[in-house]
C-alpha cells in the first residue's frame, strides 16, 4: 500500500510499504477514505520528537471503511464506516475505565505514556493513518461506527478522530462555564474549534491570539472572537491582561512547543536540551487572572528550562493539560454535529490526494495559500 513515511528531519515520502494484517483476535483492518494532517505531525516531521525511525508511517486522524475483522470482534463488521480515535486504548484498564483512555496502561509497551497512532516508537510504535490501510487494535472499543443514516460529510466526520474531542476537552477540562472570559492561544485547527466550543459552553467573551493575520481573520469571521496578534510573551501578555481587566478566567494553550522560539530556545532545541518554545505558556501566565486556570493542550515533548513556575505559584494559578482522552467524547461531538450546533468544516482549506502529502505538509507548515487544515484522501 501507499503511505506517508518519515525519512528524517524535514523529509517525508509517499512510498510503498507492506499492507497491515490481523495480528490479534480483536484487530480490525480499515481501508482509509480520509486522514488529516495535524499540527503535532509537524513536530514529528521537524525532528522534535525522539524515537521516530526512518520509513515510519505517520498520521493519527483516520476515517474509513472496515475491510477485515479479527475472530473476536463483535462491535463492527466488514463494510462499516468508522472513525478511529488518535489514541490506542484497551477500554479495560484503570485509566480507560476512569475517562482517561489517552493514558491506557495496555496500549503502549514502550513507555509510561499513552499510545498514539503514527507517533514514534515511544508513542507505542503503531503505524499511522496517512496511508491506504490501517491496523486498529482493540476493535471492540476504539472504532466509532458511523450510523447508516448519517448525512455528515467526510470532512466533518474525520474531525472526530482528534480535532473535535481534543477541542471539546480543551474547554471542558479547565471548566469553561457561563460568564467566563477565555483566551485561546493559537488559531490553528484545535484553537479555532476550541473557540467554537467555548461559546457552546457559555463563555461571555472569547479572545483569540495568533501571529498570522489570515488565521485571526478566520477567528473573527467564523467564531465571533476578539483577536490579538501575537508579538512577544511579555508584550502580548500585558495587552491581554489590560483587555480583560486583570486577566482572563481561563487561558487555553493550543500552540505547544512550536511557538516562536527565542535564540536561546532554538539553540537548546538543536542540542536536544529541550524541545521547542515556552512562549505560549509564558504568555498564558501573564494573561490569566489570579486564581485562574491555564489549560495546556498544545504538545510539549521534553523537559524545559526557564519554566515560569514562580508566576504560577505566586498567583495561585491552576495548570491543567495533557493528552486529550478522545474515545468517550466521540459520541458527544457527533451528536453536536448532527444537531447542527457544531460544524468544524470551515477550517478545512485543502483536500488533497495522498500522493500529494509532501505538498500538503509544505503548505500547512509554511502557512501558504491561507492553509488551516489539510485532509488527505487515499
179: cell is 460568564
Integer angstrom CA distances of residue 141 from 34, 62, 131, 326, 353: 21, 15, 22, 12, 30
**Could you list the pLDDT tens digit for every one of the 378 residues in the chain?**
999 999 998 999 999 999 999 999 999 999 999 999 999 898 889 877 777 899 999 999 999 999 999 999 999 999 999 999 999 999 999 999 999 999 999 999 887 889 999 988 888 999 999 999 999 999 999 999 999 999 999 999 999 999 999 999 999 999 999 999 999 999 999 999 999 999 999 999 999 999 999 999 999 999 999 999 999 888 999 999 999 999 999 999 999 866 565 555 555 555 455 556 788 999 999 999 999 999 999 887 666 667 888 999 999 999 999 999 999 999 999 999 999 999 999 999 999 999 999 999 999 999 999 999 999 999
Residue 75: left (phi > 0), alpha (psi -120 to 50), or beta?
alpha
**Which of 296, 274, 270, 264 has its CA nearest to residue 283?**
296
Number of Cβ within 10 Å of residue 241's Cβ equals 17
Number of Cβ within 10 Å of residue 54's Cβ equals 10
Number of Cβ within 10 Å of residue 283's Cβ equals 29
- Give me the domains of the chain, ranges plus CATH numbers: 2-162+326-377 (3.90.180.10), 165-321 (3.40.50.720)
Alpha carbons 270 and 272: distance in angstroms, whole number = 5
Alpha carbons 248 and 240: distance in angstroms, whole number = 8
Say if CB 80 and CB 54 are below 8 A apart.
Answer: no
From the number of C-beta atoms within 10 Å of its C-beta (0-12, 13-18, 19+), residue 92 rates as middle
Alpha carbons 195 and 36: distance in angstroms, whole number = 20
Taking the model in full, what pTM does it have?
Answer: 0.94
From the number of C-beta atoms within 10 Å of its C-beta (0-12, 13-18, 19+), residue 162 rates as buried
Amino acid at each position: 500500500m501507499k503511505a506517508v513515511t518519515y525519512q528524517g528531519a524535514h523529509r517525508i515520502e509517499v512510498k510503498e510499504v507492506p499492507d497491515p494484517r490481523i495480528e490479534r483476535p480483536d484487530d480490525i483492518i480499515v481501508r482509509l477514505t480520509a486522514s488529516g494532517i495535524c499540527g503535532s505531525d509537524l513536530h514529528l516531521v521537524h525532528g522534535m520528537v525522539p524515537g521516530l525511525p526512518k520509513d515510519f508511517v505517520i498520521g493519527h486522524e483516520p476515517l474509513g471503511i472496515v475491510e477485515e475483522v479479527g475472530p473476536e470482534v463483535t462491535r463492527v463488521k466488514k463494510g462499516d464506516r468508522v472513525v478511529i480515535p488518535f489514541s490506542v486504548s484497551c477500554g479495560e484498564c484503570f485509566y480507560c475505565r476512569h475517562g482517561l483512555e489517552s493514558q491506557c496502561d495496555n496500549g503502549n509497551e514502550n513507555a509510561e505514556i499513552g499510545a498514539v497512532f503514527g507517533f514514534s516508537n515511544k508513542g507505542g510504535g503503531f503505524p499511522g493513518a496517512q496511508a491506504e490501510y490501517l491496523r486498529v487494535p482493540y476493535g471492540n472499543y476504539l472504532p466509532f461506527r458511523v450510523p447508516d443514516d448519517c448525512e455528515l460529510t467526510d470532512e466533518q466526520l474525520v474531525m472526530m478522530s482528534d480535532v473535535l474531542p481534543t477541542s471539546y476537552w480543551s474547554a471542558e477540562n479547565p471548566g469553561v462555564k457561563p460568564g467566563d472570559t477565555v483566551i485561546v492561544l493559537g488559531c490553528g485547527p484545535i484553537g479555532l474549534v476550541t473557540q467554537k466550543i467555548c461559546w457552546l459552553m457559555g463563555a461571555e467573551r472569547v479572545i483569540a491570539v495568533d501571529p498570522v493575520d489570515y488565521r485571526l481573520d478566520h477567528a473573527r469571521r467564523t467564531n465571533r472572537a476578539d483577536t490579538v496578534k501575537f508579538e512577544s510573551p511579555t508584550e502580548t501578555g500585558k495587552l491581554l491582561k489590560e483587555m480583560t481587566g486583570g486577566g482572563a478566567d481561563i487561558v487555553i494553550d493550543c500552540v505547544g512547543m512550536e511557538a516562536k522560539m527565542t535564540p536561546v530556545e532554538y539553540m537548546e532545541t538543536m542540542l536536544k536540551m529541550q524541545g521547542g518554545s515556552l512562549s505560549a505558556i509564558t504568555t498564558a501566565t501573564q494573561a490569566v487572572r489570579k486564581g485562574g486556570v491555564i489549560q495546556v493542550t498544545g504538545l510539549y515533548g521534553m523537559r524545559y528550562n526557564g519554566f515560569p513556575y514562580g508566576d504560577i505559584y505566586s498567583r495561585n494559578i491552576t495548570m491543567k493539560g495533557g493528552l486529550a482522552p478522545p474515545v468517550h467524547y466521540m459520541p458527544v461531538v457527533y451528536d453536536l454535529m448532527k444537531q447542527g450546533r457544531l460544524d468544524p468544516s470551515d477550517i478545512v482549506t485543502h483536500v488533497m490526494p495522498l500522493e500529494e502529502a509532501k505538498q500538503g505538509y509544505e503548505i500547512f507548515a509554511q502557512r501558504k495559500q491561507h492553509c488551516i487544515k489539510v485532509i488527505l484522501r487515499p
